[in-house]
Amino acid sequence: MKATVDKDSCIGCGVCVQICDAVFEMDGDVARAKVEPVPAEAEAACREAAEACPVEAISIAE
């Protein structure tokens, strides 16, 4: 599984980092996925973060 943050959509709210800091981190004003693939134990939180993003900037690829 791979997570991608669309930097053009991200508004830097940081919710994804709060929910899943195993995968997401802030990179300046926007978030980025710092690991690929997403570790198995972080997949559930990663999906939760994607759903919680207010601007749907996170894509998940299986």
For binding to ligand F3S (CB under 6 A), which residues are involved? 5, 10-16, 30-31, 53, 55, 57-58
For residue 49, the minimal CB distance to ligand F3S (Å) is 6
Helical spans, DSSP H, in the chain:
15-19, 43-52
Judged by beta carbon, residue 31 or residue 42, the one nearer ligand F3S is 31
Judged by beta carbon, residue 10 or residue 42, the one nearer ligand F3S is 10
Radius of gyration of the chain (CA): 10
For residue 34, the minimal CB distance to ligand F3S (Å) is 12
**Would the CA dihedral through 53, 16, 31, 5 be positive or negative?**
negative
